[in-house]
Amino acid sequence: MKQWTIDETQINERIDKMIVLLHGDTSRTHVQKWIQDGLVTVNEQAIKANYKVQQGDVIGVMEPELASTEVKAENIPLDVVYEDADLIVVNKPRGMVVHPAPGHSSGTLVNALLYHCTDLSGINDEVRPGIVHRIDKDTTGLIVAAKNDHAHEHLSKQLMNKTTKRQYKAIVHGVLSHKKGTIDAPIGRDLKDRQKMAVTDRNSKQAVTHFTLEETFRAFSYVTCELETGRTHQIRVHFQYIEHPLAGDPKYGYKKTLPIAGQALHAETLGFVHPRTNEELLFTAPVPEDMETLLQDLRKQD
């Protein structure tokens, strides 16, 4: 069950609207159905959709999971960078969702992995088997999945202890004034837009992104980003926060069309200790063709 406690800044909002704001990954229609089905409580009591929240209220949501029968193996090509009996590293293409969710029950990385692999870790659930970490739908690059629970636990612990190496390449608007820098700003759900994250002190978690300037153009910069934490949309939110949003990112940047179908962000490097052999592994994947084309176009303009 997911739970939230209402503070003084959130009072007198309808319960269904408040859950949409807090949850971030569902619609008001879904929430109203949960309320009707008795899956939503306030202070452990069932309520109606028009209930207005009060300070100190504890909202509980027993969110229904997707049925396991909805997640089917699909013969989707995968760019496999590495694979053994314990794990698989894939170079995810732009446009592929990592795991099934409302509105994306097929065509995901999980659907492809279920077809490709004979087994995946069951630590999460039937909807997210083997998934240790995620990258956004329109972010390309490296992601590791676990084939058994031992590998899953080992890799998850490395992520928690911040010992994995995760570097991204990004093209951002504007010319950065520093060769190196660190963005240390907490990230939480944007209460004005349930589909976005934001730098905020309310209901947020620490988020740290280190960056190195690789190349500058007339109106853009090419950077390497290294994650110390792994918050949702972290790089996209952090660069919006310092007023250098990612190219091709209409959610956090500008709506101006660029020759790229999504944010110019690529998970280029992934490093971790193998959960069985204790060998240090490091993988790299070149930036995708559309991002490389954009870089070439920017260089010609200078």
Catalytic residue (choose from 16, 57, 86, 136): 136
Strand partners, 104: 101
The CATH class that applies to domain 2-61 reads alpha beta
CATH of 68-161, one of 3.90.1150.10, 3.30.2350.10, 2.30.33.40, 3.30.200.190: 3.30.2350.10
Q: Which residue has the higher pLDDT, 226 or 38?
A: 226
Does the pLDDT at position 69 exceed 50? no
For residue 249, indicate whether it is catalytic: no
Of the chain, the percentage scoring pLDDT greater than 90 comes to 66
| Model pLDDT, residue 26 | 67
Looking at residue 210, what is its pLDDT? Answer: 98
Q: Specify the length of the chain in residues.
A: 302
Question: Is 291:163 a contact under the CB 8 Å cutoff?
Answer: no
Q: Are 19 and 40 in contact (CB under 8 A)?
A: yes
Mean pLDDT over residues 192-204, rounded?
A: 86
Q: Which CATH architecture has domain 167-267+292-301?
A: 2-Layer Sandwich (3.30)
pLDDT in tens, 137-155: 999 999 999 999 999 999 9
Whether 2-61 and 68-161 share one fold: the answer is no
Q: How far, in Å, CA of 79 to CA of 90, rounded?
A: 6
- Whether this prediction's pTM lies above 0.85 is answered by no
Burial 36-72 (b: 16+ CB within 10 A, else e): eeebbbbeeeebebebebeeebebebeeeebeeeebe
pLDDT tens digits, residue range 46-64?
888 899 999 999 999 987 6
Per-domain residue ranges of the chain: 2-61, 68-161, 167-267+292-301
For tokens 């992520």, what's the residue? Answer: 159
What integer is the mean pLDDT of 93-108?
A: 86
Distance, C-alpha 213 to centroid of its chain:
23
CB 237 within 8 A of CB 252: yes
Q: Is 33 left (phi over 0), alpha (psi -120 to 50) or beta?
A: alpha
